[in-house]
Structure 1
Amino acid sequence: MSVFRSVPTLPRAARFVLPALGLLACAAPAAAEDARLDEIAVAGEGAPGPVPASSGGPAASAGYVGGVSGIGGALRTVDSASADTISGAALNSRPVTRPGEVLESVPGLIVTQHSGEGKANQFFLRGFNLDHGTDIAINVDGMPVNMRTNAHAQGYADINFLIPELVAGVEFHKGPYFARDGDFASAGSVRIDYLDTVEKNLALTSIGSFGYKRALTIASAPLGEGHLLVAGEAQVYDGPWEVPDALRKVNGVVRYSQGTQLDGFSVTGMAYASRWTATNQIPARAVSEGLIGRFGTLNPTDGGDASRFSLSGRWSGTDDTGVTRASAYVIRQQMNLFNDFTYFLNDPANGDQFHQLDQRILGGGEVAHIFQGDLFGRPMENEIGVQTRTDSIRVGLFNTTNRRFRSGILDDRIFESSGAFYFDNRVKWTDWLRTSIGFRADGYYADVVSDTPANSGKARDGIVNPKLGLVLGPWFDTELFVNYGGGFHSNDARGVTATVDPSSPLFNLQRSPFLVPSTGSEIGIRNASLPGLVTTVTLFQLDFASENLFQGDSGTTEPSRPTRRYGVEWTNRYAVTSWLSLEGDLTVTHARFTEFDPAGSRIPEAPTTIASAGVTFGEPLGWFGAMRFRYFGPRPLIEDNSVRSKPTALLNGRIGYNFDNGMSLALDVLNLTNARADQITYFYESRLPGEAAEGVADRHFHPVEPTAVRLTLAGRF
């Protein structure tokens, strides 16, 4: 939620996590890392064909069928200690409450929710409250998910259209060290690729607690010289809320593909629509005073609807010089949100509900070429890429009562366009030394036409960032990674051109910079000396010049001070046998403002400690299962650290059976211990009926759902 910002502590959960070592589903042994550059360098000569995406871990899902991945994973960069890939099988082995939570397979990433199920998730990583996606770049099948100059939050990344069973693999990077990553990628980036074909067709149905129902069908078949894949999904869910979520969601994917990872193409259409009622975060005093229950609401008309339609294409080709990759997309996306976070603080008579409208059409693409050569007789490859994106946007903010229009605050039209050029040089100097040296140049242009003329205007900005990587080893199955790079996130274009507060035009505003730079560095060690175990320790640091953000909830710009985050990550993946794997991750971060202010130096909502552990078992036939523990540590809620959130520890489980006739049955138990915890907590002022006009500063929390069960029956044919 963009009105509020976000920090946390180490402790008791660490005692559960530190001994947990892990799953080899994502991490390749150090020796395999050493060979990666050579594999790319000979991509045009006998390169391997498509890799089954179901490889990489025990089978632990009733609905995942595996298949052949597309071209997205064919091109790689020199690694860092905190970059890796996750197979679709590993991702689908996790019992989750909502689709976005599958991204918690990225070590150290928390995916939660403070509102109704149709709204974008809230993300936390490396000491960042990433809001709805401000500093984590998410890409699905070659298309950006983050929406810039969004009505609710800059970088708003609604991942609810994701169909986890279609995921071929996930590539993630942490830190701004990779030339291909640009806007919103300072804390990290996640690239998700869908399958081109499935090994077997799938029909799946799920039922569960609190009105949960889901149906999914995926099928592929040869067509001409390629394959046609079709997937359709429908879901309803009420949740434990006193006013039901009443989520209604439909989702579809159609893809035609030909060829292989290195020589092929695909054309994909996607369609998604949902509507819901939201129980947003509620003030703790309303519960303690008995005004509402823990799962109650103070405004039963909050909620919204969203839709997303896209057409995209990808192509790759190989010749004597190397590999060329190209992609293009066009997306039509719409969102309506009705929120009431402060109740009667601003308008004692009508209440504070507001409507945020976001309508946009965006298009863009990418062309990259990797060509091989040598430098002083050493294997070398160069990657050159060009990226572009253009958004035509309408954003509105309106005062409402029970979703009925009362008055307008702003209704703006924005044209925003960007282009980027990047270059990366990778050399294998010896068997124990590899380097990556590159840069990225981004240019931005925006034209804002506001219904408040003083806030109209044009803006331009650009930024150039270096990207450096060094890999030493392996020695004794151990590698050392050193990375450095610059990154940035764009600010809402309205905040760049605005001069007056749209709700009170007599007040001037401080303009935001268009592009806000960041600088990151890390050093990490990855060890694979024990058979099946890959363990990594990483020390990282990230500085932001300013975390200024345009506040879509109020239509104004809220500047903040420069920040610094540093910390340590420890990740473990342990393939005990072919049917049993373990994992354990721990991230501890120190996050502070770097300029003095009497208010304090803590960054509100910035997590200090994030930890997880899990076990997965199963084979293609017979029993399978998984257990996942996730710890989200306490966080300061205001700058002086005098108010802190409580920690949240959740345990989810799954048990199932694969029959030899292609049928599978699985039972998920979510929040297995029935923890009375919070998904997220904020601290701010709100006003209930009868309270003083200035309101009351209070904790506002969104509770974790109580224990829920979900039964899934799937058939493969």
Structure 2
Amino acid sequence: MKPDNFIFITQLGGSDAFSTGTIKCLLTFLLLAFSATYSMAHNGSINGGVFSKEDSAPLAGATVILTNVDIGTTTDVFGMYSFKDLVEGQYTMQVSYLGFKSTIQTVMVKNTETSSVSTYLESGEFSLSEVSVTSKKETALNIISSLDISLRPTQNSQEVLRIIPGLFIAQHAGGGKAEQIFLRGFDIDHGTDVGLSVDGVPVNMVSHAHGQGYSDLHFLIPETIEQVDFGKGPYEAKQGNFTTAGYADFTTRSVLRKSVLKLEAGRFDTYRAVGMFNLLSDTARQKQQNAYLATEYMFSNGYFESPQNFNRINLFGSYNGKVGANKVLSVSLAAFRSGWDASGQIPERAIADGLISRFGAIDDTEGGNTSRQSVNTSLMSVLPNNAVLYNQVYVLNYDFELYSNFTFFLNDSLNGDQIRQRENRHVLGYKGSYSKESQFFRFPLRSELGLALRHDLVQGSELSRTRGRRVTLREVHKGLIAETNASAYISETLELTSRLIVNTALRFDQFLFDYVNQLPTDSVFKRQVAAKNRLSPKLNLYYTYSPTLRFYASAGMGFHSNDTRVSVMADKDRILPAAYGTDLGFIMKPSPGLILHMALWALDLDQELVYVGDEGIVEPSGKTRRFGLDASARYQVCHYLFADADVSLARPRAREEIDGKNYIPLAPLLTSSGGLTFRNKTGFNASTRYRFLQNRPANEDYSLTADGYFLVDAVVSYQLKKLELKITAENLLNSDWKEAQFETESRLKTEANPVTEIHFTPGTPFFIKAGATYSF
């Protein structure tokens, strides 16, 4: 008997949450609200900016509160903010930003006039007292998490995803392949149901040779990350394809305050070097002109018996500066290359029979190589009417080649079942938005209109049978893919009272799919095309009960697209399966050092078709329903000690299957992570972290179990004037754990008949590395 973790008396959400009438009402309201620009004729306002005293850099996301009227806001990318419709009088304004000393100012406001304020904050210590729950959105925990990157054991930016409460990852192909992702009762594979982006450039690859939504973040150097904005559920108008379980948007540094050299070395022949260099003078940076170059090289043989020969090199250049008084131009160039060998997933019976060890391999010729080059440019302008206009253009080139063997000798008893998946991809994209603050029947209103276009051209998308990574036995699939996604959204945020904020949004996506079969021996079809669109309404309510307690409720539709090779053959109603989500939660701060966050959530998915890249076949899956509970806590125990914990519960089920056969394979049921962090003025810092993943079903009837694990990691560092010394340890308890697990039918060379059982990739044993960082 496998009991559920918990039972909700009431299930939230459902696919009937948005009727046609509701959509029409939302659309009417949005169009009416966007056209309303009635301004107040009598009351005054405050326009201000928050900057770093050290280098005059704008502080985006700083909290500004008018304490005597309990009104708060946050600064934009320029460090700017505004308060409108203020009664004449004197206001006490508190300005705070994590890692800086807060300040209190007095501002006089007169009728019909705008008071201008500039605030320069000094660098200070990290303190939870600087976090407010009265900002425009529920984002306090998101900001906190981004500051903990330096005290988390990370080898690459993919592992930074673990900062998101409830998100777990698993590597199962030698370190160079994108990790498998788990979130909110989803086995997301490599990104099918979570939208990832870096500086606004999407990471998910549509119609990828290995799997839909494949998201490889290894091109991002962890030290360049400034913050990670994340959200759960399909409630953000800006977030489109793949944003069903949630999204994560990485933002790189706009300012590098010091040049850095870092060297690291650890077990299993692991070496890493990072260099980050300022390219402009101090005088230029004082004028908000910033440019830097970042480089990274990593090599590791890994803990497997067969050396991984994993190597990765990254180059990243960034410029961010003011162009005139009201424009900010950002340009970045990036190049990435990685290659590796892999031991792959191994069957439990091979270890039990003594055929291989836990870190052995059935086929050690697996592995791959990948590369990526990109150019990203954006221009943000403040127009004379104080509206903000944003334009972004990005171009990237991407190569991928992966060798895998999941079934060993099941299909080919002589040569084995190794496959090759590869592609060469070109992506061209544009994003634009226009946002403005105005009045709607005397209520403050923030309107945003956005447009986006993405075109992917994939040449030589291939699946082939190979032997020993050197001999091509047979091409199974090969084709040319052209996929275009055009989208638009409108979002309206209306402040009905100083306590109640309503956000309504509507998003429209249009997809065009084009596939050309390039196999000369395949006469089934040569070219097929398809088109489909999706309308996604969103609704978010935020109610500030007090300066320390905020409630929120969200409902919305999202989707993930299916592979082009599926979409050109499928029923058009199944090309863009919809997701219907509901969240109800609160964030509270019962004391200056304690923040609590809790949410009940539900998410339904329509029937979908999934392209299985490993086999080149289409597998249909039915409707699913997930609901659960997320809880997070951040506590500053004392001036130098911080504690945090995250717990996520989920009940994922297939809606069209009978009880007992309706489990969703590998979907997480209970996860938890947390730890203690020590920060000291003397320069000594330390952190110990735990990760817990409960046992979960490995197949639909739960006859096979994917084993859970409990792991403990730690980081210790000491900061001198210009030198930082750091030691990182993973799996302190040296636990034997399975990082990735699958139900797989396979046959070993010595077996007469195939066997279906758990195949897994062993997780890292005790690992330690030491590093030194020199700043200048």
Q: TM-score, normalised by structure 1?
A: 0.88
The question of 1:418 aligning with 2:485 is answered yes
Segment of structure 1 superposing worse, 34-43 or 669-678: 34-43
1:277 maps to: 341
Match for 1:486: what amino acid?
M
Q: What is the alpha-carbon distance in structure 2 between the residues aligned to residue 698 and residue 512 of structure 1?
A: 35
CA contact (8 A) 2:146 2:163 kept: no
CA contact (8 A) 1:463 1:515 kept: yes
CA contact (8 A) 2:138 2:587 kept: no
Q: What is the alpha-carbon distance in structure 1 between the residues aligned to residue 523 and residue 228 of structure 2?
A: 44
1:445 maps to: 512
The residue correspondences of 1:157-196 to structure 2 (distance < 5 A) are 157-196=215-254
- What secondary structure sits across from 2:705 in the alignment? coil
Q: What is the alpha-carbon distance in structure 1 between the residues aligned to residue 78 and residue 468 of structure 2?
A: 62
Alignment RMSD, CA only? 3.0
The question of 1:288 aligning with 2:352 is answered yes
The question of 1:686 aligning with 2:746 is answered yes
Match for 2:481: what amino acid?
I
2:362 maps to: 298
CA contact (8 A) 2:575 2:608 kept: no
Q: What is the alpha-carbon distance in structure 1 between the residues aligned to residue 397 and residue 198 of structure 2?
A: 15
The question of 1:308 aligning with 2:308 is answered no
Q: What is the alpha-carbon distance in structure 2 between the residues aligned to residue 627 and residue 92 of structure 1?
A: 13
Segment of structure 1 superposing worse, 333-342 or 614-623: 614-623
Measured against aligned partners, the alpha-carbon deviations of 1:484-541 in whole angstroms (never above 9, x if no partner) come to: 0000000000012248xxxxxxxxxx89932111100010011112112110110000
CA contact (8 A) 1:82 1:538 kept: no
1:454 maps to: 524
Match for 1:627: what amino acid?
T
Structure 2, unaligned runs of 5 or more: 7-60, 84-92, 103-122, 125-133
- What secondary structure sits across from 1:427 in the alignment? strand
Match for 2:536: what amino acid?
N
The question of 1:477 aligning with 2:548 is answered yes
CA contact (8 A) 2:156 2:221 kept: no
CA 91–215 in structure 1, closer or farther in 2 if over 3 Å, else same: same
CA 623–529 in structure 1, closer or farther in 2 if over 3 Å, else same: same
Percent identity, aligned pairs only?
A: 31
The residue correspondences of 1:562-641 to structure 2 (distance < 5 A) are 562-597=623-658, 600-619=661-680, 621-641=682-702
Match for 2:420: what amino acid?
H
CA contact (8 A) 1:31 1:477 kept: no
CA contact (8 A) 1:495 1:511 kept: no
Segment of structure 1 superposing worse, 633-642 or 180-189: 633-642
CA contact (8 A) 1:30 1:479 kept: no
2:449 maps to: 384
Could you tell me how far 1:42 is from its partner in structure 2?
Answer: 11
Could you tell me how far 1:578 is from its partner in structure 2?
Answer: 4.7
CA 249–89 in structure 1, closer or farther in 2 if over 3 Å, else same: same
Could you tell me how far 1:40 is from its partner in structure 2?
Answer: 6.1
1:652 maps to: 713
CA 80–122 in structure 1, closer or farther in 2 if over 3 Å, else same: same
Match for 1:113: what amino acid?
Q
Could you tell me how far 1:615 is from its partner in structure 2?
Answer: 1.3
Q: What is the alpha-carbon distance in structure 1 between the residues aligned to residue 372 and residue 72 of structure 2?
A: 37
Segment of structure 1 superposing worse, 274-283 or 79-88: 79-88
Could you tell me how far 1:576 is from its partner in structure 2?
Answer: 3.3
CA contact (8 A) 1:128 1:187 kept: yes
Could you tell me how far 1:259 is from its partner in structure 2?
Answer: 2.0
CA 268–398 in structure 1, closer or farther in 2 if over 3 Å, else same: same
2:703 maps to: 642
Q: Specify the structure having the higher radius of gyration (Cα).
A: 2
The question of 1:242 aligning with 2:305 is answered yes
Q: What is the alpha-carbon distance in structure 1 between the residues aligned to residue 270 and residue 709 of structure 2?
A: 24
Q: TM-score, normalised by structure 2?
A: 0.82
Could you tell me how far 1:314 is from its partner in structure 2?
Answer: 1.3
Match for 2:773: what amino acid?
A
1:434 maps to: 501
Pick from 664, 668, 676: which aligns with 2:736?
A: 676
CA 220–9 in structure 1, closer or farther in 2 if over 3 Å, else same: farther
The residue correspondences of 1:13-162 to structure 2 (distance < 5 A) are 35=71, 37=73, 79-80=137-138, 84-86=142-144, 88-162=146-220
CA 53–201 in structure 1, closer or farther in 2 if over 3 Å, else same: farther
1:21 maps to: none
CA contact (8 A) 1:86 1:169 kept: no
2:474 maps to: 407
Q: What is the alpha-carbon distance in structure 1 between the residues aligned to residue 396 and residue 101 of structure 2?
A: 32
1:330 maps to: 395
1:488 maps to: 559
Which structure has the higher relative contact order (CA within 8 Å, separation 6+)? Answer: 1
Could you tell me how far 1:92 is from its partner in structure 2?
Answer: 2.3
1:70 maps to: none
Runs of 4+ in 1 over 4 A off after TM superposition: 7-11, 26-48, 50-57, 80-83
Segment of structure 1 superposing worse, 26-35 or 400-409: 26-35
How many pairs does the alignment contain?
668
- What secondary structure sits across from 2:574 in the alignment? coil
CA 332–432 in structure 1, closer or farther in 2 if over 3 Å, else same: same
The question of 1:202 aligning with 2:273 is answered no
Q: What is the alpha-carbon distance in structure 2 between the residues aligned to residue 240 and residue 56 of structure 1?
A: 45
CA contact (8 A) 1:512 1:559 kept: no
Structure 1, unaligned runs of 5 or more: 1-6, 12-25, 58-64, 67-75, 500-509
The question of 1:370 aligning with 2:435 is answered yes
Measured against aligned partners, the alpha-carbon deviations of 1:333-392 in whole angstroms (never above 9, x if no partner) come to: 011000000000011111000000121000102101110111221211101000110000
Q: What is the alpha-carbon distance in structure 1 between the residues aligned to residue 659 and residue 717 of structure 2?
A: 55
CA contact (8 A) 2:688 2:712 kept: yes
2:295 maps to: 232
Pick from 680, 684, 698: which aligns with 2:757?
A: 698
- What secondary structure sits across from 2:149 in the alignment? helix
2:463 maps to: 397
Segment of structure 1 superposing worse, 209-218 or 310-319: 310-319
Could you tell me how far 1:10 is from its partner in structure 2?
Answer: 5.0
Match for 1:614: what amino acid?
G
2:332 maps to: 268
CA 565–81 in structure 1, closer or farther in 2 if over 3 Å, else same: farther
CA contact (8 A) 2:74 2:136 kept: no
Q: What is the alpha-carbon distance in structure 2 between the residues aligned to residue 520 and residue 82 of structure 1?
A: 22
Q: What is the alpha-carbon distance in structure 1 between the residues aligned to residue 720 and residue 275 of structure 2?
A: 19
CA contact (8 A) 2:63 2:72 kept: no
CA contact (8 A) 1:29 1:528 kept: no
The question of 1:252 aligning with 2:345 is answered no
Q: What is the alpha-carbon distance in structure 2 between the residues aligned to residue 382 and residue 77 of structure 1?
A: 17
CA 88–43 in structure 1, closer or farther in 2 if over 3 Å, else same: closer
Pick from 539, 546, 553: which aligns with 2:607?
A: 546
Q: What is the alpha-carbon distance in structure 2 between the residues aligned to residue 10 and residue 650 of structure 1?
A: 21
- What secondary structure sits across from 2:158 in the alignment? helix
CA contact (8 A) 2:513 2:568 kept: no
The question of 1:216 aligning with 2:274 is answered yes
Match for 1:672: what amino acid?
L
CA 34–251 in structure 1, closer or farther in 2 if over 3 Å, else same: farther
Q: What is the alpha-carbon distance in structure 2 between the residues aligned to residue 284 and residue 95 of structure 1?
A: 29
Q: What is the alpha-carbon distance in structure 1 between the residues aligned to residue 189 and residue 743 of structure 2?
A: 15
- What secondary structure sits across from 2:524 in the alignment? helix
Q: What is the alpha-carbon distance in structure 2 between the residues aligned to residue 585 and residue 434 of structure 1?
A: 27
